[in-house]
Homo-oligomer: A and B are copies of this chain.
Amino acid sequence: MTWLDSSIMHTRGMARGKQGTTHELTEAKQGKYHYTMGPYSAPVLHIRPGDRVVVETRDAFEGAIKTERDLPSQKLEMPFLNPQNGPIMIEGAEKGDVVAVHIEKMTPRGPQPLGTCCMIQEFGALTGTYYTATLNQPLPEIVRKIRLDEENVYWSDRVTLPYKPHIGTLSLSPEIDSINSLTPDNHGGNMDLPDMGPASITYLPVRSPGGRLFIGDAHACQGDGEVCGVAVEYPTTTTITVDLIKGWSIEWPRLETDEFIMAIGSARPLEDATRIAYRELVRWMAKDYGFDQWDAYMMLSQCGKVRLGNFVDPKYTVGASIRKHYLRNK
């Protein structure tokens, strides 16, 4: 018996933890990758609650940056960035439901050096940008190609970082909008949240028939805030199991691990992202765990944890969490 057995996914999902069919979503099967998440694209896969999907994700630059001499300004073309697999249709998913995505495994895929990091002009936290518009000269364009394996990311001669993979962009479709894959919002999107890795479950609100799941943007590791604008981007084989929860209405994405539950907000300025995350967490504790809302609010002031996902994307992402230990009734 693992923590999954008592997870929300397994206790409230239609599959009740029972594994379904395994599907492959290879590059070939995917065909054209997507740069917006919305209700207007053609499905690439239909699955049932409980099914597993093995997905071949491309890196955020769709492989265009092959060497350290490939400058982003020459090789990348806005807005065709951050390619997404999908949409995957989940049978029975309707507006008002929740889709649960359990990330099981993320394996590097392809020839070394697999990882790419770079500084993109007018993108990142410590530079003037498209929105924080300045007249300064942009920072230099610098590209790093990085060897990595399932243990380490070999950043430089001096520094080796542990391999801590996560999915940067995970979404269902908005109801009527189609949103580019660089932008997170209440549908999920480009959250860049390091907690969204193997052994996590993400819960996303369904707003469109079938849910329309998109996935991509794997990071071999990422610091809080993704400060230069780019993580160690790499192509993967990612294995997920997907379930459907009826009768659970949520407004923003949520996440669960063995240790904690987390509410996720995406907005600007950063305090609004944090407000959303904490308000959702207060409401969650009140609704599902029997706390008085003011007690939850004051208690999170003592034990809430905040993860800064990104503060570089068109909207910033914050997760607010509480340890499951504190949610238990004595």
Contacts and interface: CB of A to CB of B under 8 A. Distances in A.
Given A117-B302, A301-B223, A136 B133 contact: no
Interface stretch (A21-29, A237-245, A276-284): A276-284
Closest 8 CB pairs of A and B: A223-B304, A136-B136, A269-B269, A270-B270, A224-B306, A228-B301, A133-B279, A178-B178
A69 to B, nearest CB: 16
Q: How many copies of the chain does the oligomer comprise?
A: 4
A111 interface: no
Interface string A269-309: 11110111011101000000000011101111111111010
A312 to B, nearest CB: 9
A301 B225 CA distance: 7
A308 to B, nearest CB: 4
B40 A178 contact: yes
B128 A134 contact: yes
A110 interface: no
A297 B127 CA distance: 11
A3 interface: no
Nearest to A301: B228
Interface string A160-191: 01000000000000011111100000000000
A298 B126 contact: no
A134 B134 contact: yes
Given A140-B294, A271-B316, 19 more contacts: A35-B176, A40-B40, A79-B175, A127-B135, A128-B134, A133-B272, A136-B139, A137-B137, A177-B179, A222-B301, A223-B305, A225-B274, A225-B306, A227-B300, A227-B304, A230-B301, A268-B272, A270-B270, A274-B311
